[in-house]
Amino acid sequence: MLRYLERVVGIDVETHRREVERRVATAVEMGACGLVSDGFRYTISDFRVTTVTPASSDPGMPRMINRRRLDDRLD
């Protein structure tokens, strides 16, 4: 499906891949299992993003730090 979107639909997958990499780089370097950013949960395994879901989609998932909410609580 990914290659279909890239080759047939014309989506520039590499641009989106770089954007995801930019968003999660620090979390990956720190060995985090996930990150919540701008309303989405990025699940990380073996230093790779494996899944991206809406942050509120699965309440059964282990809680991950939402940096923006943490900063708001500290103010």
Which one is predicted more confidently, 73 or 43?
A: 43
Q: What gap in Å lies between CA 75 and CA 65, rounded to an integer?
A: 16
User: What's the predicted TM-score (pTM) here?
Assistant: 0.67
Mean pLDDT value of segment 63-68: 56
Band of pLDDT at residue 56, cut at 50, 70 and 90:
confident
Q: What is the pLDDT of residue 65?
A: 53
Cα 33 to Cα 30: distance, rounded to the nearest angstrom: 9
**Token representation of residue 63:** 């809680």
| pLDDT average, residue stretch 21-38 | 94
- 49-52-58 Cα angle (round to 5): 125
Pick from 51, 53, 55: nearest CA to 43: 51
Domain, as residue range, for 55: 2-74
- Structural domain count of the chain: 1
Q: Is the dihedral of CA 1, 62, 33, 41 positive or negative?
A: positive
Mean pLDDT, the chain, whole residue set: 84
